[in-house]
Structure 1
Amino acid sequence: MTQHHPGTDEHRPANRGPAAAPRNRAALIAAAREIFAEDGLDAPLSAIARRAGVGQGVLYRHFPDRAAVAAAVLEENVRQIEQAAAAEDATLAGVLGVVSWHLTESAAFISLLHAGAADRRSGAHAYARALSERVERVLRARVPAGHRLAGADDLMLAVAMVSGAVTGPTREERERRVLAAWRLLAVEVGPVRPFTG
């Protein structure tokens, strides 16, 4: 005879069955974006499941590991930067404005840009390194000859330095600090906003 303990099922999300899979996946990605934005790529996966309103088993059915969650969240950021760089009228300043917007929005994106320098062995950080390299490639393609960031390591070092300045309790404060950091490096940056096509 199974004994029922009042209150134990009240904390467990309801099983909505296979029909809920797309909704659960979308909720997990949205929750991961928020959690990673707040706490970076090392945030606990259990916090993502909790925020999405599903159990950890549901998270692992959709994403086998941290790398898969990070990929789903960060791919969109990187794709937006690639689209900004590919636009017909793209300039380095404009693309740096888009990069700066992502820096002010997400601690995970900051982690991504520092992934290339870190010797991390986790799948999430390996994936982040690959995404970071994509960002570097599109930025480097927009650096004019003779620009102050044209040196071999100067571009991503500058981006890393600026990302280190992204602190503050509000988005406005973080943006103010990003722009101040670029100004101190004497690098022109376009409007800090997402790429909208």
Structure 2
Amino acid sequence: MNTPPPEPPRANRGRSAAAENRRALIAAARVIFCDGGYGAPLSSVAKMAGVGQGSLYRHFPDRLSLAVAVFEENIGDLEAIAESGDGTLDRLLDAIVAQALVSTAMIDMIQAAPDDPRVLNLERRVEVLVSRIVQREREAGRLGDHVEVADVVLSISMIAGAVARTPTDRRTGVARRARALVRAAFVREQN
């Protein structure tokens, strides 16, 4: 099996490449955190991004800053679902499961710094997007009146946590079962 030769590291062009370096660091962190979790070596992130550790720390002074930047993009994807006219709770949960299947770092980050304002901001953004979807689902008759926004947020946390803590080879099955339980609990009761 022939593997292509590794790409040579990109030359760091200093401040003129700051935005490009930042994007490269976030992309690399997404891969490194996916493979190694929240505690993965930051030197690996810098190496994969093709920048020096000094550049990494200029953009992200600590591990949490880098993780927040990665997960801001994830939440941006979830917000796009909530803002779309056809964004449903099923689509949202599918996207969250897809994110959890490839990375445990979000759960680890929240557990490492639950009271950090940056983490709290991410949680508030999730609550806002969930609120939009809950309202839409109620109006469409797909969600029971007994379901609160806090219930959906809790179910997201439970699903993501269960998926993240399950061995990789069993994650898809656990995600499917967790989604089925949530669907059954949230369905509109028939009179």
Deviations 1:56-113 (A, max 9, x none): 112112223334312321111101100101111222122222222112122223346x
Question: Quick one: which amino acid aligns to residue 168 of structure 2?
Answer: P
1:26 maps to: 23
Per the alignment, residue 120 of structure 1 pairs with 113
Pick from 159, 176, 179 the counterpart of residue 176 of structure 2. 179
Q: SS in structure 2 opposite 1:37?
A: helix
Distance 1:180 1:104 in 2: 14
Tell me if the contact between 1:28 and 1:48 (Cα under 8 Å) persists in the aligned partners. Answer: yes
Number of equivalences: 169
Structure 1 counterpart of 2:51: 54
Q: Does 1:39 align with 2:30?
A: no
Q: Give, as a single letter, the amino acid of the residue that structure 2 aligns with 1:57.
A: G
Distance 2:83 2:24 in 1: 30
Pairing 1:45-194 to 2, within 5 Å after superposition: 45-111=42-108, 115=110, 118=111, 120=113, 125-143=116-134, 144-145=137-138, 147=144, 150-151=147-148, 153-166=150-163, 167-170=166-169, 173-187=170-184
1:22: how far off?
4.6
CA distance in structure 2 between the partners assigned to 1:37 and 1:155 by the alignment: 25
* Higher RCO, 1 vs 2 (CA within 8 Å, ≥6 residues apart): 1
Separation of aligned partners in 2, 1:157 and 1:149: 14
- Which amino acid letter does the alignment assign opposite residue 72 of structure 1? A
Shift of 1:147: 2.5
Provide TM-score, normalisation by structure 2.
0.70
Contact 2:72 2:122 in 1 (8 A): yes
Q: In 2 relative to 1, CA 96–14 (structure 1 residues): closer, same or farther, beyond 3 Å?
A: closer
SS in 1 for 2:87: coil
SS in 1 for 2:168: coil
Return the structure number with greater helix share. Answer: 2
- CA distance change for structure 1 residues 86 and 17 in 2, over 3 Å: closer, same or farther? closer
- Paired residue type of 1:48: V
**TM-superposed deviation, 1:163:** 1.4
RMSD: 3.1
Q: State the one-letter code of the partner of 2:130.
A: L
- 1: CA distance between counterparts of 2:73 and 2:65? 13
- Segments of 5+ residues of structure 2 without an aligned counterpart are 1-8, 187-191
Instruction: Rate the CA distance shift 1:180–1:58 in 2: closer, same or farther, 3 A.
Output: same
Unaligned stretches of 5+ residues in structure 1: 1-12, 190-197
Question: What's the % identity of the aligned pairs?
Answer: 38
What is the TM-score when the length of structure 1 is the normalising length? 0.69
